């Protein structure tokens, strides 16, 4: 839980100015820093687009309600800029040229916007004031010209580091407030436990007790029926159980939940998703147009992904356009009941968590019977077979039990597979999407080399 907020101030003139009205009239700019801490999920999406709880970081920041008549600007890596621009809705922009106002409110989107942060932002009433936490820039009110000078190349392919950003703005920041007690998503491995923490209260705000779909009379509801929402066009077949005793359940529109399925709150099921017979889904976020079967617990599955068959997925995060073959099962607990260690920035890090599964990037495909160990990162566009006992880089084929080595997945093969899968949902990758994939392939070449990936076609012996 959040600690109590603390605040102290350092200023060049030694004078601490009083609490003021805040950054009214300033344009909000979300600037991602250290994006590779969020790999593999950040390979094809900006950090603000990451989902934690029921909302993305971008949706949380937009809730600040800063009114200036200009779009909220999201600055990401250069190769993602066009793709991000396609995905952003009205009122948002993805380029520095869209910064229009003379005063700009910079916000690090990895700090979750809540009441504590809103209160602290009121201190940023004039350019040159900043909130800093443990040497990281949380937020700052700066002049437009100073920000553009600091970001001489807004959105390079490698991204900005938090230290570099603070250093480049050092001449502009006249007064820094040292703050504590803010909740921050520090890496991809924080997304799973923080989602587990936030989902119950956020779904409570979404549900309204309304049942707008077709619910069979033999569906059983356990708990307070006001903690449910079932959207229009959704169908719940006989012998489905909805357990609301531990949290609310939100079922979107045109969802189909087949017989003998149990859904235990807190749980979100996105529009157009199908939950197959005999499934058990608990404490999870399931995105739109997914296919879900088997057992899913305390996990996030983003849109258009398939876990259609039997197998276990627990305390895990799954990207978009993933297909997990029948019998794919992940581990979320070590035999020793010890804490799970992960690789982050080239180092082994103790997460302090006993329950933690893998993070699986976009467009991953697993073969039937694949087993993935706890705390493993499975890179985007990788194909995995057999046992996955170590991290898998992007665009790699992992089949160590079969051949003992990793092989590079050819770029054109990866793109063609993506086109085929997306066409089954009536979609196709845009030119910006394919350009981003091609750039991602080149950017991750060194990662594959460091993992000893062989640059030749994989063949099952």
For the segment 252-279, the average pLDDT, to the nearest whole number, is: 98
- Chain centroid to Cα 282, Å, comes to 19
Tokens at residue 33, please? 């820093």
Q: Which pLDDT does position 461 carry in this prediction?
A: 66
Q: Which pLDDT does position 156 carry in this prediction?
A: 63
Q: Tell me: do 30 and 167 sit in the same domain.
A: yes
Q: Judge whether 42 lies within some domain.
A: yes
Maximum separation of any 2 CA atoms in the chain, in Å: 73
Q: Tell me: do 180 and 194 sit in the same domain.
A: no
Determine the 3-state secondary structure of 59 from DSSP.
helix
Q: Tell me: do 385 and 420 sit in the same domain.
A: yes
Q: For residue 417, give the CATH number of its domain.
A: 2.160.10.10
**CA nearest to 71, candidates 91, 89, 88:** 91
pLDDT digits (tens, 9 = 90+) for 110-131: 999 988 899 999 899 899 999 9
Determine the 3-state secondary structure of 138 from DSSP.
strand
Asked if 181 and 4 touch (Cβ cutoff 8 Å), the reply is yes
For the segment 193-211, the average pLDDT, to the nearest whole number, is: 96
Instruction: Give the Å distances, CA to CA, from 358 to 75, 319, 361, 416, 430.
Output: 28, 11, 10, 26, 29
Q: Judge whether 461 lies within some domain.
A: no
Asked if 436 and 82 touch (Cβ cutoff 8 Å), the reply is yes
Q: Judge whether 289 lies within some domain.
A: yes
Q: For residue 111, give the CATH number of its domain.
A: 3.90.550
Q: Tell me: do 172 and 33 sit in the same domain.
A: yes
Q: Which pLDDT does position 9 carry in this prediction?
A: 40
- The domain boundary, picked from 153, 184, 215, lies at 184
Is the pLDDT assigned to residue 336 strictly greater than 90?
yes
Q: Which pLDDT does position 1 carry in this prediction?
A: 29
In the chain, the number of structural domains is 2
pLDDT digits (tens, 9 = 90+) for 36-91: 999 999 999 999 999 999 999 999 998 886 666 688 999 999 999 999 999 998 88
Q: Which pLDDT does position 65 carry in this prediction?
A: 64
Q: Tell me: do 205 and 345 sit in the same domain.
A: yes
Q: Tell me: do 154 and 16 sit in the same domain.
A: yes
- The domain boundary, picked from 128, 162, 184, lies at 184
Q: What is the pTM of this model?
A: 0.92
Is the pLDDT assigned to residue 426 strictly greater than 50?
yes
For the segment 153-182, the average pLDDT, to the nearest whole number, is: 78
Q: Tell me: do 214 and 321 sit in the same domain.
A: yes
Q: Tell me: do 426 and 281 sit in the same domain.
A: yes
Identify which has the larger pLDDT, 11 or 452: 452
pLDDT bucket at 19, cuts 50 / 70 / 90: very low
Q: Which domain holds residue 95?
A: 6-184
Q: Tell me: do 101 and 69 sit in the same domain.
A: yes
pLDDT bucket at 18, cuts 50 / 70 / 90: very low
Q: Judge whether 280 lies within some domain.
A: yes
Q: Tell me: do 96 and 208 sit in the same domain.
A: no
- The domain boundary, picked from 184, 209, 229, lies at 184
Lowest-confidence region among 111-120, 149-158, 398-407: 149-158
pLDDT bucket at 171, cuts 50 / 70 / 90: confident
* 3 state SS for 145-177: HHHHHHCCCCCCCCCECHHHHHHHCCCCCCEEE
Measured CA to CA, the distance from residue 376 to residue 374 in angstroms comes to 6
Instruction: Give the Å distances, CA to CA, from 156 to 75, 172, 415.
Output: 10, 22, 24
Tokens at residue 6, please? 């603390």
Measured CA to CA, the distance from residue 13 to residue 385 in angstroms comes to 62
Q: Judge whether 457 lies within some domain.
A: no
Q: Tell me: do 221 and 161 sit in the same domain.
A: no
Identify which has the larger pLDDT, 229 or 157: 229
Lowest-confidence region among 38-42, 143-147, 218-222, 358-362: 143-147
120-150 burial code (b ≥16 CB/10 A, e <16):
bbebbbebbbbbbbeebbbbbbbebebbeeb
Is the pLDDT assigned to residue 152 strictly greater than 90?
no
Q: Tell me: do 93 and 125 sit in the same domain.
A: yes
Tokens at residue 189, please? 């491995």
Residue count of the chain, please give it. 461
């Amino acid at each position: 839980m959040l600690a109590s907020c603390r605040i102290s101030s350092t200023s060049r003139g030694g004078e601490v100015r009083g609490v003021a009205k805040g950054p009214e009239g300033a344009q909000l700019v979300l600037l991602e820093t250290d994006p590779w801490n969020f790999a593999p999920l950040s390979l094809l999406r900006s950090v603000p687009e990451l989902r934690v709880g029921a909302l993305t970081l971008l949706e949380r920041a937009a809730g600040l309600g800063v009114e200036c008549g200009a779009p909220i600007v999201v600055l990401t890596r250069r190769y993602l800029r066009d793709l991000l621009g396609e995905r952003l809705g009205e009122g948002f922009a993805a380029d520095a040229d869209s910064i229009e106002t003379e005063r700009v409110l910079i916000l690090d989107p990895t700090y979750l916007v809540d009441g504590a942060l809103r209160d602290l932002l009121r201190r940023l009433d004039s350019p040159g004031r900043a909130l800093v936490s443990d040497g990281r820039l949380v937020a700052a009110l700066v002049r437009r010209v100073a920000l553009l000078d600091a970001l001489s190349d807004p959105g390079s392919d490698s991204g900005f580091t938090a230290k570099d950003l603070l250093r480049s703005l050092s001449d502009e920041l006249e007064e820094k407030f040292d703050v504590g007690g803010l909740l921050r998503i520090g890496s991809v491995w924080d997304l799973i436990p923080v989602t587990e923490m936030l989902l119950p209260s956020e779904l409570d705000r979404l549900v309204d007790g309304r049942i707008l779909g077709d619910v069979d009379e033999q569906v059983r509801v356990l708990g307070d029926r006001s903690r449910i929402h079932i959207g229009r066009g959704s169908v719940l077949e006989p012998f489905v159980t909805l357990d609301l005793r531990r949290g609310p359940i939100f079922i979107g529109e045109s969802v189909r939940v087949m017989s003998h399925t149990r859904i235990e709150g807190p749980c979100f099921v996105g529009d157009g998703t199908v939950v197959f017979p005999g499934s058990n889904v608990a404490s999870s976020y399931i995105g739109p147009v997914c296919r879900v079967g088997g057992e899913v617990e305390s996990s996030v599955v983003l849109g258009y992904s398939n876990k259609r068959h039997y197998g276990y997925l627990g305390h895990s995060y799954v990207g978009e356009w993933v297909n997990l073959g029948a019998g794919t099962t992940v581990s979320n607990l070590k035999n020793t009941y010890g804490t799970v260690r992960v690789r982050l920035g080239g180092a082994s890090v103790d997460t302090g968590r006993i329950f933690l599964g893998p993070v699986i990037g976009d467009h991953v495909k697993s073969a039937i019977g694949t087993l993935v160990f706890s705390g493993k990162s499975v890179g985007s566009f990788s194909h995995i077979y057999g046992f996955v006992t170590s991290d898998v880089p992007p665009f790699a084929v992992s089949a160590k039990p079969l051949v003992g080595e990793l092989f590079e997945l050819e770029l054109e093969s990866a793109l063609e597979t993506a086109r085929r899968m997306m066409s089954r949902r009536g979609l196709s990758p845009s030119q910006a999407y394919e350009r981003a994939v091609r750039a991602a392939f080149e950017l991750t070449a060194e990662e594959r080399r460091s993992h000893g990936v062989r640059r030749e076609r994989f063949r099952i012996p």
